[in-house]
Amino acid sequence: MAMKAVYKKLWEMAKPYYLKGRPMDIAHIEWMMKDALLVCKKEGIDESLLLPLVILHDVGYSAVPTGNPYNLDLRRAHMEAGAKIARLILENISYPKEKTDRIAHYVSVHDNWAFGETKIYLEDIVLGTLSDFDFVWMATKEGFSALMKIHGKSPAEMIEYLEKNDKLTTRPFRTETAKGLFENYLGERKKEYKPVTQIPPDIIKEVGFDFDWKEEKVWALDVPVEEMDIIELVWHIEIPFWHTSNGHYDLTPIQVLAEPEKYSEEYNRTMKADLSHPLDIMLNKGRWLLLDGLHRLVKARVLKQKTVKVRKIPREMIERIVP
């Protein structure tokens, strides 16, 4: 779909601000422009309001301190600063005064839902659609992985976060088009991140070590302790490394956390784990795999720890840990 010169011009002028803002925002806005044009055509929304709003809505992140963009003070600040910058840019290209006022106002309230406001999105289709798009973004390929990092979520947790989000009930999608886009993107993500429970136990052969080892021999090794971002290890919680009372590699830590009552044995073991001991890990097929400490890892996850203590056991030591 061809984009009008005026929107290209606005994007050119806005880009330098985004380069100073959140690293993900260039992709955020470029994606949004494309789908916003589509929704304007299909739903008869005034593109002379929605497109500039899309292009300018997050410029304010360039003027606020960096930090977690979900922090409420930063949210308010990025809207206030953004409204001023948006007005400056629109006046610079002599955009119609009345529209400039409206767009600057939209920018100044576009994230007010984070402060409990819902009415303005239901009453105004331009603002409502922008807000829909900010949400839909999290289901796009780029948005999904960016948000996974920001929230420290695994793919399965991220999918659940989107599917059970308050937004869907408190501020339902304003248009069928936006709703359809969301469902399509979410479907793509679900296909990419197939829940591990549907994959046969071959997964263990696929991700596990191809040797046996004795934990006692691992503990006896002299390897320094270091801190590691939990993100590097969090994939373990989706793999059925545990088992039910009669099963064999048929229980994932995620299932245990979802139903602690049902799997009380593993859950209690997890919560009793002593986090002062480091996890023992070894590089295997390009990623860090636990030799020992899955209960500790899962507990650290429950406690929302960002890092864990690890000992990186070199592969040259394999012969010293086999039975």
Give the tokens for residue 260.
């602690």
Least separation in angstroms between CB 57 and Fe ion: 6
- Rounded CA gap, 87 and 6, in Å? 15
Q: Which is nearer to Fe ion, 58 or 157 (CB)?
A: 58
Least distance to Fe ion from the beta carbon of 40, Å? 17
Measured from the CB of residue 110, what is the shortest distance to Fe ion in angstroms? 6
**Residue closer to Fe ion (CB basis): 35 or 134:** 134
Q: Which is nearer to Fe ion, 47 or 111 (CB)?
A: 111
Alpha helices in the chain, H assignment, sequence order:
5-20, 25-43, 47-56, 72-92, 97-109, 119-123, 125-136, 141-151, 155-163, 167-170, 176-192, 202-207, 215-219, 253-258, 264-272, 294-302, 318-321
Please list, in sequence order, all residues whose beta carbon lies within 8 angstroms of the beta carbon of residue 124, skipping any fewer than 6 positions away.
Answer: 106
Whether residue 273 contacts residue 262, with contact meaning beta carbons closer than 8 Å, is answered with: no
Question: Which lies closer to Fe ion via its Cβ, residue 88 or residue 228?
Answer: 88
User: Which of 109/203 has CB closer to Fe ion?
Assistant: 109
From the CB of 22, what's the least distance to Fe ion, in Å?
9
Q: How far is the CB of 105 from Fe ion (least distance, A)?
A: 14
How far apart CA 250 and CA 254 sit, in angstroms, is: 12
Q: Which is nearer to Fe ion, 69 or 260 (CB)?
A: 69
Report whether 58 contacts 112 (CB < 8 A): no
Distance CA 238, CA 155 (A): 9
The nearest distance, CB 188 to Fe ion, in angstroms, is 20
Binding site for Fe ion (CB under 5 A): 58, 111, 134
